Amino acid sequence: MDKIKKIGVLTSGGDAPGMNAAIRAVVRACAFHEIACAGIYRGYEGMIEGDFIDLNARSVKGIINKGGTFLKSARSNGFRTKEGRQKAYDALKAANIDALVTIGGDGTFTGAMIFNQEFNFPVIGIPGTIDNDIFGTSHTLGYDTTLNTVVDVIDKIRDTASSHNRLFFVEVMGRDVGHIALNVGVGAGAEEILIPEENLGLDRLLDSLRRSKESGKSSSIVVVAEGDKIGKNVFELKDYVEEHLPEYEVRVSVLGHMQRGGSPSCFDRVLASRMGVKAVESLLEGKSNFMVGILSDKIQLTPLEKAIKGQSKINKELIRVSDIMTT
Ligand code: F6P
């Protein structure tokens, strides 16, 4: 394989705190190894359109602490087609980009893998999503920041919940997985945590709330992952509980996209820096079609296919700990 001379970097899918820090790490690692780097705007959309910018070590100053992604992010329909991918390949070739670092979630990695198979184009993925739903890494970029953001918000909700003796359902992100809900639930001392992986059932929820009232608690927080499968959305849950437990006054807070914003935590900045360096150095060593992850504090590579197909499992011990904490 010819020596890589220019790496392109993009962010795609839902943004996550730490993406800017990861772009910075990729750019600086390229500068350190004396190869060129180009930023690709709006993920695969910008790749199809050839919307690139040359980046040097100074271009990424002052961004390690910034949320979002200055390269912007998008979900691309064009890249799902062979024609779109051919256009993207032609654009990369025209700009002399000979390898890619793609930062995003499983959709981003699926696109990268197909692109690699079709054009034998070197790619390495960095997992960037607040959901932490990627196999092959204990932490995705942005996850730690989101946990801290959400715990902080629930602490505030608790203040008003206890002033008014209310029960709050707090919906947090997590389309398919309950990592955020489970961890913030334990971290913020929630009464119950509803996650897609475990169907608590409505009866058990009512029992638990009944017991909590009887034990002398005057206010409660129930954390609900948006993908929870209890069979009701969070507003229907509120109605259901008010109907069956009229002693409760219930409110709902859907936290929404604020969970994706904000300055990355120190953990995410360090993780982004380590992953960015590993991604560039892996490409320079001739490796391709891998995702960079962190397992037991070691930066490791997992084949993209495994990262996409594998399941990121919740920590069941946390469910038990939560049950004990709500005694
Ligand atoms: O970033 C992941 C995620 O936050 C999911 O938990 C959520 O369902 C989804 O993104 C919503 O993203 P968007 O509004 O960008 O489609």
The phi and psi torsions of 322 (rounded to 5 degrees) equal -60, -45
Q: Average pLDDT for residues 51-69, to the nearest whole number?
A: 98
The phi and psi torsions of 272 (rounded to 5 degrees) equal -60, -40
Give the pLDDT band of residue 326 (cuts 50, 70, 90): confident
Sheet with 99-104, side-by-side order of all strands: 52-55, 36-40, 6-11, 99-104, 123-127, 290-295, 298-303
| Ligand 1 atom closest to the CA of 173, numbered from 1 | 6
Query: Which value, to the nearest 10 degrees, does the dihedral of the CA atoms of residues 309, 310, 314, 315 take?
Result: -170
Q: Above pLDDT 90, what percent of the chain?
A: 92
Count of all residues that appear for the chain in the document: 327
- Give the global pTM: 0.97
Q: Average pLDDT for residues 177-185, to the nearest whole number?
A: 97
- Mean of per-residue pLDDT scores for the chain: 96
- Report which residue type is found at 197: E
Q: Above pLDDT 70, what percent of the chain?
A: 100
User: Is residue 21 scored above 80 in pLDDT?
Assistant: yes
pLDDT at 182: 97
pLDDT at 2: 74
Q: Distance between CA 32 and CA 290 in Å, rounded?
A: 22
User: Is the separation of the CB atoms in 238 and 250 below 8 Å?
Assistant: yes
Q: Whose CA is nearest to atom 11 of ligand 1?
A: 14
Q: Is 4 in the pocket of ligand 1 (CB under 6 A)?
A: no
Q: Is 204 in the pocket of ligand 1 (CB under 6 A)?
A: no
Our answer to whether residue 131 is catalytic in this structure is: yes
Among 106, 131, 144, 228, the active-site one is: 131
Q: What is the pLDDT of residues 206-258, one digit of tens each?
A: 999 999 989 988 889 999 999 988 877 999 999 999 999 999 999 999 999 99
Q: Average pLDDT for residues 135-156, to the nearest whole number?
A: 98
Q: What is the pLDDT of residues 264-302, one digit of tens each?
A: 999 999 999 999 999 999 999 999 999 999 999 999 999
Distance 304 CA to ligand 1 centre (A): 21
Distance 13 CA to ligand 1 centre (A): 8
DSSP, residue by residue, 224-280? EETT--SSS-HHHHHHHHHHH-TT--EEEEE-GGGGG-SPPPHHHHHHHHHHHHHHH
pLDDT at 1: 59
Q: Is 177 in the pocket of ligand 1 (CB under 6 A)?
A: no
Q: Whose CA is nearest to atom 10 of ligand 1?
A: 14
Q: Distance between CA 64 and CA 110 in Å, rounded?
A: 27
Residue matched to tokens 């696109």: 111
Give the pLDDT band of residue 28 (cuts 50, 70, 90): very high
Distance 226 CA to ligand 1 centre (A): 10
Distance 228 CA to ligand 1 centre (A): 14
Q: Average pLDDT for residues 62-86, to the nearest whole number?
A: 97
Domains and CATH numbers, the chain: 6-142+264-309 (3.40.50.450), 144-260 (3.40.50.460)
Q: Is 130 in the pocket of ligand 1 (CB under 6 A)?
A: yes
